Amino acid sequence: MKAARGRPTKAAIDVNRCEYWDCEEAVPATHFLCLQHYQLHQDNLINKCQSCGKFKDAKYELCLPCRKKIRATPVPRTLKQAAHPSVERNTQLTDDLSDDFYVYILKLDGGEYYVGQTADLRTRIMEHRDGEVATTAGKNPSLIWFDFARSRQEALQLEEHVKHLKDANLRTFRGLILRFGDLVREVGR
Ligand SMILES: [Zn+2]
Ligand SMILES: [Zn+2]
């Protein structure tokens, strides 16, 4: 567990924790979200998880821990075969509502790289991590770079470009990853 960050809290005023699922920011007793997450709430970008009531990305029904719990529960075969209509509608919805498409690079065990594109980066990365994608299964895939595109077409083009770099210009490809990682660490401090 991470230590609480931010300003030291003043004396013994009543203090809440921000209710965003992984935020540990302390907030005054009259608040339920930290400033950053309150702003996201105002913008309708976050809302409550339907399972635990913590705040999460509004694009999804569940926060990540709840989603993980549900994925860990094996789905009976019969249910898988006859997908409920609402399940299909949801999948459709995710794609339609998605503003962005993503191109991403995974680092695999043994120094290999995998380049892919998706309309739902979070779900896709979890599928990779859960071993549901044959190419990366058992290879400890970790996300080391991503960029977004405004349409599937644009994403496919960017994916082609990044794959080409990987095969034909490994130095530029590695530079891309290096700068991205440095930036995240630098800014995330
Ligand atoms: Zn927060
Ligand atoms: Zn939840």
- Nearest Cα neighbor of 144 from 177, 183, 111, 116 is 177
C-alpha count within 13 angstroms, C-beta hemisphere, residue 1 = 4
Contact 117, 159 (CB under 8 A): yes
Choice among 3-12, 34-43, 129-138 with the minimum mean pLDDT = 3-12
CATH among 3.40.1130, 3.40.1440, 3.30.160, 3.20.20 for 73-187: 3.40.1440
Cα 71 to ligand 1 centre (Å): 25
Q: How many CB atoms lie within 10 A of CB 154?
A: 15
What residues does the ion ligand 2 have nearby, CB within 5 Å? 49, 51-52, 63, 66
pLDDT at 8 (0 to 100): 52
Q: Tell me the three state secondary structure of residue 23.
A: coil
User: Hey, where are the domains in the chain?
Assistant: 10-68, 73-187
Tens digit of pLDDT for each residue in 108-136?
Answer: 999 899 999 999 999 999 999 999 999 99
CA of 55 to the centre of ligand 2 (A): 8
Nearest to 132 by CA among 167, 60, 80, 78: 80
Cα–ligand 1 centroid distance for 85 (angstroms): 35
What confidence category does residue 6 fall into, taking pLDDT thresholds of 50, 70 and 90? low
Beta bridge partners of residue 149, listed in sequence order: 101
CA distance 44 to 46: 6
Measured between alpha carbons, how far is 19 from 48 in angstroms, rounded to an integer? Answer: 9
Looking at every residue in the chain, the average pLDDT score rounds to: 83
